[in-house]
Amino acid sequence: MLFDRRLATILPATALAGLLAAAGIALSAPAETLAPPDAFVAIADPAQRSAAYFGELSKVLTHPRCTNCHPATDRPRQGNSARLHQPPVTRGADGFGTASLRCGTCHHGANYEPAGVPGHPEWHLAPAEMAWEGKSPAEICIQIKDPSRNGGRSLADLVAHIGDDTLVGWAWHPGGARVPAPGSQQEAKALVKAWVESGAACPQ
Amino acid sequence: MPPVSLTINGRSHGPIEVREGLSMNDFLREVLGMTGTKFGCGAAQCLSCAVIVDHADGTSSTTPTCIAPATDFDTLVIRTVEGHATNGELTPLQKSFVAHFAFQCGYCTPGFLNEGQVLLERLERAPIPRADLERTIAEALDGHLCRCSGYVKYHQAVRDVVLADPKRFLT
Amino acid sequence: MRPSRRDFVTWVAASGIMLAMSRIGPVRAAGFEASQTLPGTAASRLPGATAGRIDALAKVTGAKLYASDFRAADMEGWPETTAHALLLRAADATHVFTGLDLSALDAGARPAQVVTAQDLERAGVRVPPFYAGDLLCPAGKTPLYLGQPLALLLFETFDAYDRARAILREKNPARFGAETGPVAQPNYAALRFTRVAGETPDKPDVYSPLIEGWISPGVFEPGGRPVWQPLPTSEGGQYKKGALHGEAIRAFIAASAPDMLVLDRQFRTQSVDPMFLEPEGGLAWYDPRAKALRMVLGVQSPLEASEELAHLLGEAAAGFRPERIESHFAHVGGGFGGRDHTPFPFYVALAAMFLPGRPIRLAHDRLQQFQGGIKRHAFDMHTQVAFDRATGRMRAFAADHVLDGGGLANYSASVAAVSATSAIGIYDIPKVDVTTLAEHTRGVTAGSMRGYGVLQTTTALETLVDEAAQALSLDPITLRRRNLLKAGGLTMTGNPWTVSIRTPEILDKLEGHALWRGRAAARKAAPAGTLVGTGVAVCAKDYGTGADCSLGRVEVDPKGRIRIFCDAVEMGNGIGTAVANRVAGLLGRRADEVSVARIDAFDELGLVTSGDPYTLTQTEQDEAARNPRWVPAISSATSASIGAHVGTQAAAEAARLIFRFGLWPAALSLWGIAQDDPRRFLWQEAFWFDGALILSGLPPLKQEKVAARAHEMGGLTGAMAHAFSRWAWAQAAFPLDGFEWVVDLDALAVRRGGGAFKVLDRSFIAFPPASYNRIGTSFTSSCGTLVKVEIQKASGAVRVSQAYSVLECGEVLTPEVVVGQAQGGFAMGLGYALLETLPPFEDGPGNGRWTLGDYVVARGSDLPIHALEVEVLPRVAPNEPPKGMAEVVMIPVVPAILNAIHDATGHRFRALPVTPDDVRRVL
C-alpha cells in the first residue's frame, strides 16, 4: 500500500498508525493492546516499517505506567492521572530516593493491595537523562538510542530492559485500580526487537 | 496465617499469627493495642504512622506502617513513639518538642518524633556542615503532614537539639 | 447567630433519656478518665516535661488520648473485644438507589448485621432537626447528596471488617437504577443585610438590621432562587422596606457618577476539607442489661452530641432506646470546625444499638473522611464598591453571595449570615447592601470551618481594595487607613464593635515593615526567569457566636495542688494549657490536673435551660431568668475562636473567687492581719511570684501554706461556675461572706474546706439584652499579613518566600500557642490560596476516591519556614481580656498572596486556588 509520504512527515507515529487503521489496514491495535510486528509487513519501506514498530511501542513508553517513573523533573508522578507523587519524593543521588525518603520505604517487594501501594524489590526512578514525560515518540526514540541518555545501553540492552526487566514488567501487572500498560511485556519485547532488527529507525 | 516475630522498643513480640494482608499499622493498633503509632491517610501520604526500623548495619530509617503488611516486619527491630523515653527520662528531641510547643493537636507528633530522631542519629554518624542544617532538616521532615502548626516549631525544635550540641551533629 | 435547635434541656434530655452527666453507673471508665486528665501522674515520673503544654507529655510519648486510640479493652468494665462497623456511602446522587450487592464478600468478610434505612425506621430512630435528611438512604430513593450513608455493616471481628473494607473499595456494592437527576430541596437561607447611615456620623442610622431586624425575601422563583427585588405586593412583609433601601444603594452605585470609582467584580472560592489529621472515629457499647449506651467520641461539641444522641434514640422501639447515655469525650486530633455538629456520632451509636452487648468501633479511613466529612462552603460572590475619587472614601458597597451548602443544612444559614455581615471587613461604609443565599446541592455537606465565610468574603474585599488603590493611585495601606472603622463607628449591622480596635496599629506595623518598604526593590532585584511581588491584606474576624458559654470547676487541695475541669474541648488549640495558665495567675500554681471536654462534672449547679438563646425575646428571657438555675445555654461547642475568651472564663472566675474568699483570708490569717486592718481590702494588690504570695511589706507566703490554712479555716477551696456571653457577659451577684459579690458568671456552686459543692442562688442577674441577637459582629480581633512571592515564569509556580503577620488578641494566655496558631493559620491560608480544592459533585470528594495524593495540603517545603515572622501586639490595658484569634490569623494570608501575585504578574486572580497552570496562562 502506497500512501503519501508527506503525511508520514507531518503526522506523529501514533496518528500515522491510527490513519492506517482507519484505512482498513490491521497495523495498529486499540489503545490498550499492542499490534504484533507482523501487522506492519504491509509497510514496504524498511525505515518506515521500523519507525512504525516504534510508533506502536510508544503506546507503552508514553503510558503513565512508564512516564510516572521516567519523569521530566526529579519528582515522580502517580496514578492513572499522572499527578505529582505524594508525599513529595525526589530521585536522590542513586534514583532510589533521598536519605530520608527512600523508594523502598513504602514500595516493598510486592504490591500491597489493602492500601493500594505498588511494590517491586527494585522500585526506583529512571535516571534524569532518561526522562520521557511530556516527550513525543520521535523525541523518545532519538533519546532511547543515545547511550548517553539511555543508561549506557546498547540496542540489545534495550530489548532486554523493555522485554525482560521485572520492574518494567510490573507496568503490565500493576494491580488495583491502575490501568496496565498496553499489550503485554512479551508483545512489547517483540516490537522492540523488530524495531532494533529493522534498523531502529525513528518516527519523524 | 503466617507468624510474625519482631522487636518493638527493645521488647520481643511473637511469634504471633497474623492474617495475610493485615497492615503493620493495624497489627500495632488492633493486635498489640499500641495506638501511639497513628493512622492518618492509609496511603503513606501523611506519615503519621511512621515507625523507626533499626537495621543490622547500625543505621535506622523510618517507614510508614499503613501501606505494608505486618509480615514484612517479621524479624525486624523497630521503635515507636512509646519507646523513646527511657528510665523515666525524655529524649533531648522530646524535650525540645515540649519546650518549643512544637505540636498542637499532636496527632502527627509520633511521625515527626521518629523522623527527627532518625535524622539526629544519622547526623551523629555522619555530621554535616552548619550551612546545610536547615536544608537537611527540611528534606528529612517534608514527607510528614501537619495541619495545625505550620511546621515552624517542629523545624526549630529539631534544629535546636543539633545546635545545643554542635560537636555531636555538625562538622 | 448560629441557630440552635434546643427546645428544652436539663440534665435529663427532653427525650427522657438520662444523659450521664455524672458517672454514677455500675461501670466507670477510670482508665479513660485518667488518660484524659493531664499532665497526669506520668508527669512526675518523666522529669523535664513540666513546662510546655499541659498535654505535651501525653502527646510526645504516644499516650492513649484520642477517640481513635480506644478499644473496648481500654475501657474499665467493658467487655474485652471490639466489633467493627463500616459505613457505606453513596457515590451517586442522580440515580435511584436500589440496594446493596454484598456477594463479593466471602464467608470470612461477611458482616454479622447489615443496617439499612428500613431497619432505622423499624427501630423508630428520629433524625434531629439540625440534621434533617435520611440518616441512611432508603432503597427506592435517589441519595440526597454524594456521600450520603447507605448502610452500616457490622462485623464481629476486625479481620472480617478489614477484608470487607478492602473488597468493597474495589467492588462498590451500591446498586443504582433509573436516572432521576439530583433531588430538589429548598435552599437553606436567603438573607439581606442593608444599612443606610445617617447623613453625618453623629446622626442615627436611617436603616439597619439592628433597628429593623434581619430580613429575608418572602418570594422565591420556582427553582428556589429568592426574588431579591422588593415586589409591589405585600408579600415579604418587612422585607420590602429594607429591599427598597438596598435597591437605592445599588442604583447609586450603578449611576457611577464621574467623581466615583466603581469596581464591579465576580469572585469564586472553592470547597475544601478541614483535613484534620485524625479521621473521625468513635467507640460505643450498648449494655442491654443496664440499658445504657456508653460511648467514646471526639467532637468539638460534647453537649450537643449528647443531646442529639438522646433525640435520635428518644422515641425508639424497645431494645433500641437506652435509658441512659454515657459519653466520654476524648482529646481531638484536629477540628478546625469540621467536628462541630457532625452527624458522625449518630452512626457510632446506631452501630452499637444494632449489635447489642458488643462494643463496636466506627472509624473513617481517609477516603471515607473525604467522602463524608464536613466541608467548607464554596462561594460565588458578586461585589460592587463605589469610592470617592477625591478622598478615597468608600461611599457604597453591594454584594451578592451564593454558597454551596451541600446535602444537609448543617450550619449553612449561619455561615451565610456571618459571611454577609462581615462583607465590609475592617471598613466604615455608610451604605451597604448584601444578599446571601445558601443553596442545597447534591454535594457533600458544608458546615463550620475555620474562617466561617469571612475567609471567602475577605478574600474578595481585600483584593478589591488593592485594585482600587491602584486605580486611585493611592498606596494600598493609605487607602485602607482612610476607610477604617474606628472606635464607636457602626458596622454594617448598625452596632459598634465593643472591644479594642487595633486596625490602625496593625496598618502602622505593616507599613513600617521592611518587607513592605522594600517591595519595589525586591521586584527589581528579581532574578532572571523569576517574578517577585509583595502583597498586603488586613482582616477583622468575629469571635463568639452571640450565645456562648463555659463551665469551669477549680479545686485547691490542702497541699496547694490544683485541679481543673472545663467543658471546652482540646483539639490542638491549647485550651487546657490556657485554662491552667489563667488559673495559675490567680492561684499561684499551674494546675496539676486539667480535665477538658467535661460536661459531667457540674451536677451541683443543677442548670436548666429553655428556648433558643439566639432567638428568644426579652420577655421570655426575663421570665426564664427568675429561675436561679436557668441559663440561656449550658455548654458551647469549642468553635468560633471562643476558647480563650469564653472557654477559660468560668474557670478563671472560679479561681478568682477561690482566691478572694479562700486563699486571701488564709493569707491575712498567716500574716496576722486583723479584721479591722484596712489592708484586708488590698487583695487586688497582692500577686504571685515563684510560688509565693507577695504583698508589699509583708513576708512572701508559700502557696501550699496558704492553701493549707484556707482548708483549716473552712475557706472557699473550690468553685464551680457557668458563664454566658451574648456579646457581653451575663453578670450575677452571689452571697459570699456577707457580700453580694458581683461576677461575670450566671451560676455558681462553692466548696468550703474539704466539704461538698453547694450551689448558691444568685441574688441579682443581668443577662445581656435579647436585642443583641440582631448584632452581626461585636467582638472582633484583627490581623494583617504581608507576603512576598516568587513566581517561576517557566512553570508558573508561586512560592511564598517571606511573610509577616501581625495580630492582636487582648491578653495572651499562652504566647507559644498564639504564635503556633498564627503559623498554622498561615499554612492553611497558603494551602487555600494555592493548593487545595475539591471540585463539586461527581468528581469531588463524595465519589469516595479522594486521597491526600489528590488533595494537596501545604507541606513544610511549601512554606517560608525560616522567613515567617509573627508579631502579637501587647494588650491595650492590664485588664483587657483575651480575645479570639484562631481564625483571624488564616484570613488575610489568602488575599495578601493574591495581591502579591498581582504585584508580580500584573494579573488579578479572582478564583481559587491559583495553580501554576493558571499563572502560566496569564504570563
> Which residues are bridge partners to C328 per DSSP?
C296
Q: Mean pLDDT over all residues of chain C?
A: 93
Confidence at residue C20, expressed as pLDDT on a 0 to 100 scale: 59
How far is it, in rounded angstroms, from Cα A197 to Cα A190? 10
| pLDDT score of C153 more than 70 | yes
Cis peptide before C430 (omega within 30 of 0): no
- Nearest-CA distance B69 → chain C (Å): 13
Could you identify the residue written with the cell 447515655?
C325
CA dihedral A132, A138, A141, A145 (to 10 degrees): -110
Q: How confident is the model at residue C221 (pLDDT cuts 50, 70, 90)?
A: confident
CB count in 10 Å sphere of residue C408: 24
What pTM value is reported for the model? 0.94
C-alpha cell at C688: 504571685
> Which residues are bridge partners to C284 per DSSP?
C295, C360
Q: Which of A68, A77, A86 to mutate to test the interface with C (most CBs of C within 10 A)?
A: A86
Cβ neighbours of residue A6 closer than 8 Å, sequence gap 6 or more: none
Interface check for B111 against chain A (CB to CB < 8 A): the answer is no
User: Regarding predicted confidence, which is higher, C20 or C228?
Assistant: C228
Interface check for C61 against chain B (CB to CB < 8 A): the answer is yes
Cβ neighbours of residue C626 closer than 8 Å, sequence gap 6 or more: none
| pLDDT score of C9 more than 60 | no
Q: Which of B19, B67, B114 to mutate to test the interface with A (most CBs of A within 10 A)?
A: B67
Q: Which of C240, C208, C217, C238 lies closest to C774, judged by CA?
A: C208
Q: What is the pLDDT of residues C315-351, one digit of tens each?
A: 999 999 999 999 999 999 999 999 999 999 999 999 9
% pLDDT > 90, chain C: 89
Positive or negative torsion for Cα A110, C111, B41, B119: negative
Q: What is the pLDDT of residues C271-298, one digit of tens each?
A: 999 999 999 999 999 999 999 999 999 9
Q: How confident is the model at residue C41 (pLDDT cuts 50, 70, 90)?
A: low
Complex prediction ipTM: 0.98
C-alpha cell at C553: 470547676
Question: Chains touching chain C at 3 or more Cβ pairs under 8 angstroms?
Answer: A, B
Confidence at residue A13, expressed as pLDDT on a 0 to 100 scale: 40
| pLDDT score of C68 more than 60 | yes
Quick check: A105 and B64 CB within 8 A? yes
DSSP conformation class of C661: I
Mean local confidence (pLDDT), A149-166: 92
User: Regarding predicted confidence, which is higher, C96 or C9?
Assistant: C96
Confidence at residue C36, expressed as pLDDT on a 0 to 100 scale: 83
Q: What is the pLDDT of residues A98-116, one digit of tens each?
A: 888 899 999 999 999 989 8
CB nearest to B106's CB, from C59, C74, C166: C59
CB nearest to C333's CB, from B94, B107, B141: B107
Q: Which of A105, A107, A111, A113 to mutate to test the interface with B (most CBs of B within 10 A)?
A: A105
Quick check: C49 and B89 CB within 8 A? no
Q: Which residues of C touch A177 (CB under 8 A)?
A: 170
- Nearest-CA distance B108 → chain A (Å): 15
| pLDDT score of A23 more than 70 | no
% pLDDT > 70, chain C: 95
When mean pLDDT is compared across A11-15, C103-107, C152-156, C906-910, the lowest value belongs to A11-15
Cβ neighbours of residue C885 closer than 8 Å, sequence gap 6 or more: C543, C641, C644, C781, C783, C807, C808, C809, C818, C821, C822
- Nearest-CA distance A147 → chain B (Å): 32
Mean local confidence (pLDDT), C551-574: 97
Q: Which of C427, C434, C447, C448 lies closest to C401, judged by CA?
A: C434
Contact status, residue A72 vs residue A133, Cβ threshold 8 Å: yes
Confidence at residue C26, expressed as pLDDT on a 0 to 100 scale: 35
How far is it, in rounded angstroms, from Cα C816 to Cα C795? 37
Quick check: B68 and A113 CB within 8 A? no
Q: In this structure, which long-range contacts are made by residues B158-165, counting pairs with CB atoms below 8 Å and at least 24 apart in sequence?
A: B158/B93, B158/B96, B158/B116, B158/B119, B158/B120, B159/B133, B159/B134, B160/B96, B160/B100, B161/B92, B161/B93, B161/B96, B161/B116, B161/B120, B162/B120, B162/B123, B162/B133, B163/B133, B164/B92, B165/B92
Query: C-alpha angle with apex C276: C271 to C281, nearest 5 degrees?
Result: 115
How far is it, in rounded angstroms, from Cα C818 to Cα C578? 10
How far is it, in rounded angstroms, from Cα C729 to Cα C652? 14
Q: Which residues of B touch A99 (CB under 8 A)?
A: 122, 139-140
CA dihedral C348, C350, C353, C356 (to 10 degrees): -50
- Nearest-CA distance C823 → chain B (Å): 5
* 3-state SS class at C164: helix
Question: Chains touching chain B at 3 or more Cβ pairs under 8 angstroms?
Answer: A, C
Q: What is the pLDDT of residues C428-469, one digit of tens each?
A: 999 999 999 999 999 999 999 999 999 999 999 999 999 999
Q: Which residues of A touch C857 (CB under 8 A)?
A: none
CB nearest to C853's CB, from A83, A114, A177: A83
Interface check for C853 against chain B (CB to CB < 8 A): the answer is yes
In chain A, % helix, strand, coil (3-state, to 5) comes to 45, 5, 50
- Nearest-CA distance B166 → chain C (Å): 20
